[in-house]
Structure formats: C-alpha cells, structure tokens
Structure 1
C-alpha cells in the first residue's frame, strides 16, 4: 500500500507530471527542465527526487551533471511501470504540454556544449 500511495502522490502534482512528459522525449538535466518550467533549481531537484523515490525516473551522473530519464519496465515497481505506460497515452494533445515540448526542443543543455 505504501508504494502505491508514493507513486500516486508523486503523480498528484502538476509540475511533476510535466517533468514526466518532458522526459518522454529523452534524458534531461535539471537545467533544461528548469529553463522550460521556470522554477528554481532546488524546486526542480525536489520534484525529481520525489519522482525517483517513487520509481518513476532514474538518474545517472555525467561529469558534473546529473541526467534524468523515465524508468523502463522493471526498473521501478509495478505501480510506476503501469502509470508510466498509461501516462504515455495521456495528455498528448494537451496545449500546455505541447507548448512545454516545443520550448524544450529549443533548449540547449550547457553540458552538451562541453
């Protein structure tokens, strides 16, 4: 029950859902997510930690950067696997999500320049 509730609580916040929709397009660093959402870096990091604790995202270190991606089936838990599968089919025609993804396409990650 606790794990189920952790996943549901992680998905119950608008900016965390937006982050997941952005990560559907591939791996991202905090600076890219921050640039799109316009939130402070600590806020983005807190959201990502909640998503990671729920099994919805994974992170990896690349030099001084931490890159985040969606968990793939089996990396998270049965609830996160199911919700990610469902979320991929939801909000795909939502104007707000569309605008975020357009903005994301125009972001150049500082770590890509190095």
Structure 2
C-alpha cells in the first residue's frame, strides 16, 4: 500500500467528521493559526460547550491537538498525524478563513490567550 494512502474506513470517518460545516471551517482556520476555544465561540457565535464538543471530536480523531498555555488551551492542527496529508489535500481546496480572525480584531473581540 502506498505510504500516503489512507484506508477507506478511516477516510469515511474523517469525511463524515468534516461533513459538519463548523468542524470543516475550524480545520481550515487551524491551517493558518492556532486558536483558543474562546475565539471559536466568538467567531461561530455558539456556546462554549458546543464548540468544545466539535473540538473534542476533531481531537479524538487525531486531527487536532491541544497545548496548555497557563489557564488557556490552545488548539492546532496535528500535522504529525498519519491522516494529515489526506486532510491537508481536502482543506487545500477551501477558501482562506483568516478574515474571521481579522473581523474579531476589528470588533475588539480578539482574545489574547497569553
């Protein structure tokens, strides 16, 4: 089997996970920046538990990882994942989402999780 190939079962699980617009958008956003849950809450305008649920699913699938920075948990793409090349090939086709972060900054809602 080609080393960059992914099993059909695994691909189906990832595609189902990314069939959710919020999770798909999160992954694309994480392609260029790391985010804290509070920033996702402000961007998607949904509750913190709802955002945490989305992030947990992405984390459980090994697509996202978390790092603790004081009281904050920062999320980033798991570029070391065996499935990352597959995910990257998908999100490569999506439009850049940096404007969402820029809108937060303009509204003064960008949270500094430092």
Q: TM-score with structure 1 length normalisation?
A: 0.76
TM superposition shift of 1:20: 0.9
Alpha-carbon distance between aligned partners in 2 of 1:108 and 1:55, rounded to the nearest angstrom:
27
Q: Would the alpha carbon gap of residues 104 and 6 (structure 1) be closer, same or farther in structure 2, given more than 3 Å must change?
A: farther
**Bigger Rg, structure 1 or 2:** 2
Match of 2:81 among 54, 76, 79: 76
Q: Which runs of 5+ in 2 are unaligned?
A: 1-7
RMSD of aligned Cα (Å): 2.2
Q: Would the alpha carbon gap of residues 4 and 84 (structure 1) be closer, same or farther in structure 2, given more than 3 Å must change?
A: closer
Q: Which runs of 5+ in 1 are unaligned?
A: none
User: Which has a greater percent of helix?
Assistant: 1
Q: TM-score with structure 2 length normalisation?
A: 0.76
Aligned residues: 105
Equivalent residue number for residue 100 of structure 1: 100
